[in-house]
Structure 1
Amino acid sequence: MYQKALLILATIALCAGAQKVAEYDYVVVGSGPGGGPLACDLARAGYSTLLLEAGDDQGDNPTYANLGNFEKAGSDVLSRWDFWVKHSDDQEREHRFHKTTWQLPNGTYYIGLDPPKEAKRLGKQYPRSATLGGCAMHNAGVCSLPQDEDWNIIVNKTGDASWTAQNMRKYLAKIEKNLYAPTGSAAHGFDGWLSTTDSDLSWTKNESLPATKIMKELAKLLGHKESDATTLAKTDILGDYPNRDQISSLYSMVQHQDRAGKRSSPNNYIKATLSDPKKYPLTVQLNSLVTRVLFANGTKLPTAIGVEVMTGQSLYKADPRHKVGTKGQTSRIMAKREVIVSGGTFNTPQILKLSGIGPAEELKKFGIAIVKELPGVGENMADNYEGSIIGIGQTPAGTFTPVGAPGLTTAIFKTSSSPKNRNIYTWCGPFSFEGFWPGFPENHGPNQYECAMVHIGPKSQAGYVHLTSADPQDVPDINLNFFKNNGDQDLQEIVEGANLLRKSWQAAGSTVLPFNELHPCPGTGAGNCTDAAQREYIRDQTYSHHATSTCAIGGENDRMAVLDNKFRVRGVRNLRVVDASAFPVVPGAFPVLPTYMISAKAAEDILAEAKNQS
């Protein structure tokens, strides 16, 4: 409670003096996995740092503090920003999405394909979290590492060897407070701010449990002995192994939480930093929507000197609590050294464009003066494809308790059509998760069983985030353009993943079988639909929540590159971007841990540069 009171007082004090121009060494916009830890690192190095967050603080709210409540957190109006996105430009395809959301005149939602005539189409819900800690406060906390080539692509683009996969592991060790590996394990860290735990696998010793039988069969299908399945399931998913990206195997799921199931996130790190204000000069300002970056007049290169901020609750129109016409108090905050934008894959490009940095034609369209033309801002968006096979058994296949994810079989594997590396991350168990819509998820009862899939290394990277106006409260136009490029290859890989997982279900035993599959192959037969039918279903019903790459790092000769190897906005001084938008490609299966890692790298780069300037 002391830390929360301290945070509230710091926020009130700053807002009370909003008419005065405040000044800090660094101004960080956004408190999520990129900006939150970075602001703490800068303050802990002795630099006065302001961290701006558009939402409030829900860190003590059990909905957010207990990781097992992540689905409730994702639907919670207290932090939710609703982005209504498109998956393609094909209107017929868009209207086939089963969870299309429509708003009724009374403000409630209709979910489905046959809305009442008076309903207004919203689209596909893509919730983001506006609260202290960002999307790390409503996610499932799943930790995984990118493929080595996801890091090495930055080396190839920029020539900077500090981005090699092996070197990037040191940032995992730096931030991690590992609670499951033997102390001193070289692949891990034990003194960082981010607690990591692995899953409880005691259930796998129960040979008669249908879920255990499925797990053993899956191990066999992945090329291992059934007798080794229990041991394989304990494999450290964050371990450092030779040829790691080619190994198809079972793994133990790792999440950023403590052993009691409490979420470990930037919120905790921020509170710990705020608890010693004399030592660490961090200031946090909540309910602060950044409207644009400010630039100096008359400089040879555009030079960031601060930000313009609108203060007030629920100012952004993605907030379902936003009231039409609500405006906040506007003020300016100055940065003596740098402005760092960490608003996330949707909001960072919006902020840059509103500041005059982006594609010239788009800026001209809305009367925004061009500060620096960078055509890549808001383009080349990438995302993992996500889907599942889900069925209803005749009896339960297992039991599920969310703390530590017991009851789940986790695997990463390579399908036969994958050109090189593992391409499917899956977790199987008695749960239901089928994407996002108001009020998700749908519970199908105790006999439900699902293998959720995340497709690693999507080939298509054609999404965009475009302005709809010059009003910073307006929500941008977002189109993920799923499967636009090389879509047949991606679809085939996902279908092959579904087929392999479906085979493993057949080992569940006579009390459970047959599964009544809900999708993508409805019915009770294991082979009752074709690959072509599955491809069609997956193309239309795929969802996602790992968007990246709208302000990507790239080389000097890359016209679409937005950032250089040190996160600096190209052609602009004293302005960086540190969040998931910086990745050239979506990093592995879950971007949250890689984003924590690049946050630590950015802090190291910024502090080294500051030292050289001293």
Structure 2
Amino acid sequence: MRFRLLSALIASAALVAEAAPAAASYDYIVVGSGPGGGPLAAELARAGFSTLLIEAGGDEGENPTYADIGNFNEAANDETTRWDFWVKHSDDPAQDLKFKHTTWDTGDGTFYVGLNPPEGAKLLGIQYPRAAVLGGCAMHNAGVCSMPADDDWDIIAKKTGDKSWSAANMRKYFKKIEKNEYLPAGDAAHGYDGWLATSVADNSWAKNDSLPGTKILKKLAELTGQDPNDAANLVNRDINQAGKKVDETTSFYNMVTHANNKGKRSSPNNYIRATLADPAKYPLTVKLHTLVTRVVFDNATLKAGSTPRAIGVEVMEGASLYKADPKHVAGTKGPVSQILANREVIVAGGAFNSPQILKLSGIGPAAELTKFNIPVVKDLPGVGENLGDNYEGSLLALGGAPVESGLITLLFRTPNAPNKKRNIYTWCGAFSFEGFWPGFPTYHGPTQYTCAMVHMAPKSQAGSKHGDQDLQELVGGANILREAWKAAGAPVAPLDEQHPCPGGKDDKCTDAVQADYFKTQAYSHHATSTCAIGGDKDKLAVLDSKFRVRGVKGLRVVDASAFPVVPGAFPSCPTMMLSVKAAEDIIAEAKKSYL
């Protein structure tokens, strides 16, 4: 999917100011505490390196809105941590305004969401959820923890020639972080002693053949080549199992979340707090409510012919200083200072903020930096480019009665998929999920039923289109799911479809109608790849295989922006794996420097 930040660079260019002398120094400075930066900072400190972790938000680890995984919708809407990023899906304004959850600023402190804004309302765009909080977006997401396809790891190994990125090797990082709470100990594909708790739901409901949801489940089994009589067992299949043919296997699974079996969220926040509280007194320092405005370079290395070296960061201290924070007061700035890094600065701000920080620091496309009067430290044309994401869409219907059911999780291949790999991740149940806007989701009443879909391995990377193949695959998935609904039986059926085909009439629910719906109403929240790892000959590669920013020293980027392509359907756990891999690489390199 294509998204554009609305003047994000311009909005924050004014943050750069003259800095006071440095007040402190650390071996490593990590900017951002989410799935990329949080685990990395903890690992570096546990290896004995003095590490400063900088977070623009606060710590909500004890707040039930965040600590209880079931409150994820409330967490994502909470102004305590929310950053309001407004994006657009198209360069055509008329096309963009077809999105039914387009958001407007009414001018009186409220939002209008819809297609008929009041007079004088200011267009904001399409909300893209981000979180400023210790633990990052892993503190406000739904907690889905799924491995990407092996190809998503192997592509990095192929691009860089670094075999440590192979899927076979990357599994060890998942095992290192995982504290599995749903399988008997001893499964070679899982870890049981890590800091990230994983758990699954009770799917015993699937044994009750009288439930409408079970009838839908069995029909889905039939439509996707599974045994309907075994459906009650298949729903407990491990979604994170390992194997050569896993990525080609259509099956039901039990959705895994990074939460413990009591429903408490598990995230980098837990690991950071455990590291701070450990009696070993690891040298980890956390600065909250601190906004990094740029990376600082050694002036001596900025001379012609020298390789620029990062030596620290410039920060402003205070809450809600970033303009995307809904609590931000226009014109507010905090005290500015510099903090030095003896070894390296590691940026982990996420797919939007990491390239922004690099650009504000003079690293990025030279023409763009010059346009904003930012001195060029290194011309890197790939910074901020290659943005990737999953298409997401949903089918929503209202039953004649409540659809009694648990959650159905299915990974499957549509008939029009371009290869043997499964391409749709769907979950169906009595909930509503139609994208993101202030106050989402809409409650459609006790009979609501949704099948939400994430399209895996999108071809429309970085805004390009490939014959509408991605849209056709979503349509292929929708047709299968809709057919399964018909099995719900009375009094639930027939379900009254709300979208993509209102009324669900077969003669009007053409593939073209559905493709147009998904083109205008698709949404997403898995941005990646804006500081992509790549090979030496790749002109748009920002990082090498060890996360080092090309053309400078002492600077790395470790977060979802490093992935060359979107990893699977949900990037949270893959990014945590990437984080501990980065820690291993950095620690190994540091040890060599001691020799």
TM over 0.5: yes
- In the alignment, residue 412 of structure 2 is paired with which amino acid? F
Question: In structure 2, what is the equivalent of residue 46 of structure 1?
Answer: 48
The residue that corresponds to 1:6 in the other structure is none
Distance in structure 2 (CA, Å) of the matches to 1:89 and 1:503: 35
What is the aligned-residue RMSD (CA, Å)? Answer: 1.1
Match of 2:271 in 1: 269
Which letter maps to 2:391? Y
| Contact 1:409/1:429, CA 8 A, preserved across alignment | yes
> Conserved in 2, the CA contact under 8 Å of 1:391 and 1:519?
yes
Query: Of residues 583, 590, 593 in structure 1, which corresponds to 2:573?
Result: 593
Q: Aligned with 2:314: secondary structure?
A: strand
Match of 1:116 among 112, 115, 118: 118
Q: Which amino acid aligns with 2:319?
A: Q
1:347 maps to: 353
Equivalent position to 1:35, from 16, 37, 53: 37
Q: Which string of whole-angstrom CA distances, capped at 9 and with x for unpartnered residues, describes residues 351-392 of structure 1?
A: 000000000100000111111110000001000001100100
Letter in 2 for 1:315: L
Which residue in the other structure is 2:135 paired with?
133
Superimposed CA distance per residue, residues 159-190 of structure 1 (whole angstroms, 9 cap, x where no aligned partner): 01111111110100000000011101100000
- 2:9 paired residue number: none
Q: Match of 2:383, SS?
A: coil
Structure 2 residue ranges without an equivalent (≥5): 1-19
- Return 275-284 or 516-525, whichever deviates more: 275-284
Q: SS where residue 273 of structure 1 aligns?
A: helix
* Per-residue deviation, residues 422-479 of structure 1 (Å, max 9, x unmatched): 11000000000111001100001110110000000111112xxxxxxxxxxxxxxxxx
Q: How does 1:69-468 map to 2 (within 5 A)?
A: 69-276=71-278, 278-299=280-301, 300-399=306-405, 407-420=406-419, 421-462=421-462
User: Is 1:554 matched with 2:534?
Assistant: yes
Counterparts of 2:286 and 2:397, CA distance in 1: 46
Instruction: Tell whether the 8 Å contact from 1:390 to 1:451 is kept in structure 2 after alignment.
Output: yes
Contact 1:459–1:487 (8 Å) recurs in 2 = no
Stretch moving more, 111-120 or 29-38:
111-120
In the TM superposition, what is the alpha-carbon distance from 1:524 to its structure 2 partner? 4.4
Query: Secondary structure of 2:409's match?
Result: strand
Name the counterpart of 1:530: 510
CA distance in 2, matches of 1:526, 1:244: 34
Q: Secondary structure at the match of 2:176?
A: helix
- Please state whether the residue corresponding to 1:307 is helix, strand or coil: strand
The residue identity in structure 1 corresponding to 2:390 is: N
One-letter amino acid matched to 2:369: L
1: CA distance, partners of 2:126 / 2:480: 29
For 1:339, what is the secondary structure of its paired residue? strand
**Cα deviation code 1:256-286 (max 9, x no counterpart):** 0011100000111111000037531000000
Distance 2:262 2:444 in 1: 28
Partner of 1:499: 479
Say if 2:29 and 2:345, in contact at 8 Å, map to a contact too.
Answer: yes
1:558 partner SS = coil
Q: Report the 3-state secondary structure (helix = DSSP H, G, I; strand = E; otherwise coil) of the residue aligned with 1:557.
A: coil
Partner of residue 565 from structure 1, selected from 534, 540, 545: 545
Q: In 1, Cα distance between the equivalents of 2:469 and 2:129?
A: 28
- Deviation per residue, 1:502-555 (Å, 9 max, x gap): 111111012111111010010143554110000001000000000000000000
Cα pair distance change 1:422/1:447, threshold 3 Å = same
**Secondary structure in structure 2 of the residue aligned to 1:331:** strand
SS in 2 for 1:63: helix
Query: Are 1:155 and 1:161, in contact at CA under 8 Å, matched by a contact in 2?
Result: yes
Deviations 1:538-589 (A, max 9, x none): 0000000000000000000000000000000011111000000000000000
Residue-by-residue CA offset, 1:335-365 (whole Å, 9 max, x unaligned) = 0011000000000000000000000100000
Report what 1:4 is aligned to. none
Flag structure 1 segments of 5+ consecutive residues without an equivalent. Answer: 1-17, 400-406, 463-480
Q: Is the 8 A contact 1:457 1:586 kept in 2?
A: yes
2:469 paired residue number: 489
Which residue in 1 is equivalent to 2:558? 578
Shift of 1:486: 1.1
Letter in 2 for 1:237: I
Give the 3-state SS of the residue equivalent to 1:245 in structure 2: helix
SS in structure 2 opposite 1:507? helix
Instruction: Tell me, yes or no, if the aligned pair for 1:304 and 1:339 is still in contact at 8 Å.
Output: yes
Per-residue deviation at 1:224?
Answer: 1.2
Instruction: Determine if contact 1:514/1:524 at 8 Å carries over to the other structure.
Output: no
Q: How far apart in 2 are the matches of 1:419 and 1:105?
A: 47
SS of the residue corresponding to residue 298 of structure 1 reads: helix
Offset at residue 222 of structure 1 (A): 1.0
* Counterpart position of 1:467: none
Structure 2: distance between partners of 1:137 and 1:578: 18
**How big is the shift at 1:200?**
1.2
**Could you tell me which amino acid in structure 1 is paired with residue 374 of structure 2?**
I
Distance (Å, rounded) in 1 between the aligned partners of 2:504 and 2:143: 33
Relative distance call for 1:277 and 1:23 in structure 2 (3 A) is farther
Query: How far 1:19 sits from its partner (Å)?
Result: 6.8
Q: Matched residue of 1:250: which SS?
A: strand
Q: Retained in 1: the 8 A contact 2:393–2:522?
A: yes
Equivalenced residues, count: 570
Aligned to 2:16: none
1:68 aligns to what SS in structure 2? helix
Quick one: distance in 2 between partners of 1:74 and 1:284?
23
Alpha-carbon displacement from aligned partner over 1:580-611 (angstroms, at most 9, x marks no partner): 00000000000001000000100000000001
Whichever residue aligns with residue 547 of structure 1, its letter is A
Instruction: Give CA-to-partner distance per residue, 1:86-114, whole Å, 9 cap, x none.
Output: 10101111011100001112121111111
For the residues of structure 1 that align with 2:207 and 2:572, how far apart are their CA atoms?
A: 31
Question: What letter corresponds to residue 490 of structure 2 in structure 1?
Answer: S
Deviation sequence 1:202-240 (CA, Å, 0-9, x none)? 111111000011111111111011101111111100001
Deviation of 1:241 after TM superposition, in Å, equals 2.2
- The 3 A distance-change label for structure 1 pair 50 and 527 is farther
